[in-house]
Amino acid sequence: MELIPASHPRAKSLLIREKLVNGFDSGIVAKEGLMAHGRGEAFDYLLGEKTSNLAKKSTQAAAAMLLLAKNPVISVNGNIVALSAKEIVQLSKIIPAKVEVNIFYASESRKKNIVLMLKKNGIKTVLGLDRRKQTKIPKLDSARRIVDKNGIFSADVVLVPIEDGDRTIALKKFGKKVITFDLNPLSRTAQTAHITIVDNAVRGMAELVQACKKLSKKNESALKKIIRNYSNKKNLSENIIEIKKNLTRRAIHG
Ligand code: PTJ
C-alpha cells in the first residue's frame, strides 16, 4: 500500500486511521470498531482536532481520581489497543493500575491478540482471559458483562476508553467510578461517566500519562481538591458550546 505523504493536509488524521486499519488486519480491532472510529473522527473534526483546555481539565481530574483509587483498572478494547498500546502500558505502571481486556464484540482470538500486543509493549499481566477468574457485572446483557473477579469486578475506579453506553451505565450502577475518553460529548457514555475526557484517545492517553506523572508527586488533599473543583456536566456543556462556536466561525469565515 502507498504511504500517506507527510505533506497531505489531513496526514495526521489519515495516520490515526491507518493504526485502526493495521489493528483490524492484525486481528485486534472489530469491523464495527472501524465504524466507531469514523464517528469519533467526525466529532474530532468539529472540535478542531486538537486537545482543548476543557479536555486538559478533565485529564487532570481523571489523573487525580486514578491516583487516589485503591484498585484502579484500565479496561481495554480493540480500538484503544490499536491506537495507544504503549500509553496503556505506561499508564498502568505509573498509577499503578491493572489492565483487563473486555470487548463488546466477543471473540477469544481477538482478546488473545489484544493481550499479545500489550505484552509486546512491555506489560507482564493482562486480566480477562482466565475463565476460572470470570464473573458477571449485574444488569448488563452484552459480552462485556464477563469480567475478572480481581479486576473490573472489584475495582473502585475503571478507565473505559472508547466505550459503549450500556456498560458505563451498568458499571456506575454497580458502584464504580467511571472515567472515559469519548469524542462525542452527547453520547450516553460521555453523559453517564463521572469524568469524560472529550479528546481523541490517541492524543488524550499521552496527556493522561503526563498528568499522572506530574500529579503523582502531589498529596492526597491536593488530589481530592482537583476532583472537588471538577464538574463533568459543566465540562460536557462547554464542549457542546465549543462545537457550536467552531461551526459558527466556519459559517461566517469559511
Ligand atoms: O473491541 P470491541 O469489541 O470492544 O468494540 C469496540 C467498539 C468501539 C466498536 C465498541 O465499544 C462500540 O461499538 O463503541 P460505540 O458504541 O461505537 O462507542 C464508541 C464511542 O467512542 C463513540 O461515541 C465515538 O464517538 C467515540 N470514539 C471513537 N473513536 C474515538 C472515540 N473517542 C475518543 N477517541 C477516539 N479515537
Q: Provide the residue type at 13 as one letter.
A: S
Q: What is the mean pLDDT of the chain?
A: 96
Domain annotation covers residue 44: no
Q: Has residue 2 got a pLDDT over 80?
A: no
Ligand 1 atom closest to the CA of 29, numbered from 1: 1
Cβ(242) to ligand 1 under 6 A? Answer: no
Number of domains in the chain: 1
**3-class DSSP assignment, residue 91:** helix
Dist. CA 252 → ligand 1 center (Å): 32
What lies within 8 Å, CB to CB, of 29 at 6+ separation is 20, 23, 78, 79, 82
Q: How confident is the model at residue 32, as a pLDDT?
A: 97
Phi, psi of 87 (to 5 degrees): -70, -35
Dist. CA 5 → ligand 1 center (Å): 27
- The model's pLDDT over 92-117, given as tens digits with 9 standing for 90+, comes to 999 999 999 999 999 999 999 999 99
Q: How far apart are CA 165 and CA 144, in angstroms?
A: 11
Domain annotation covers residue 9: no
CATH code for the domain in which residue 208 is found? 3.40.50.12640
Nearest CA to ligand 1 atom 16: 164
Number of neighbouring beta carbons within 10 Å of residue 194: 20
Q: How far apart are CA 136 and CA 116, in angstroms?
A: 24
Domain annotation covers residue 47: no
Pick from 223, 174, 180: nearest CA to 201: 180
Domain annotation covers residue 250: no
Domain annotation covers residue 135: yes
- The model's pLDDT over 112-156, given as tens digits with 9 standing for 90+, comes to 999 999 999 999 999 999 999 999 999 999 999 999 999 999 999
Per-residue confidence band for 3, with pLDDT thresholds at 50, 70 and 90: confident
Domain annotation covers residue 32: no
Q: How far apart are CA 183 and CA 196, in angstroms?
A: 9
Domain span at 68: 53-242
- The model's pLDDT over 6-34, given as tens digits with 9 standing for 90+, comes to 888 888 889 999 999 999 999 999 999 99
Q: How far apart are CA 157 and CA 246, in angstroms?
A: 33
Q: How confident is the model at residue 1, as a pLDDT?
A: 53
Nearest CA to ligand 1 atom 31: 40
Nearest CA to ligand 1 atom 6: 33
Dist. CA 49 → ligand 1 center (Å): 17
Number of neighbouring beta carbons within 10 Å of residue 228: 10
Domain annotation covers residue 71: yes
Per-residue confidence band for 4, with pLDDT thresholds at 50, 70 and 90: confident
- The model's pLDDT over 218-238, given as tens digits with 9 standing for 90+, comes to 999 999 999 999 999 999 999
H/E stretch holding 134: strand 134-136
What lies within 8 Å, CB to CB, of 119 at 6+ separation is 126
Q: How far apart are CA 247 and CA 249, in angstroms?
A: 5
Q: How far apart are CA 93 and CA 99, in angstroms?
A: 10
Domain annotation covers residue 167: yes
Q: How confident is the model at residue 109, as a pLDDT?
A: 98
Output the CA angle 80-83-89, nearest 5 degrees.
70
- Ligand 1 probe mutation, 17, 31, 79, most atoms within 8 A of CB: 79
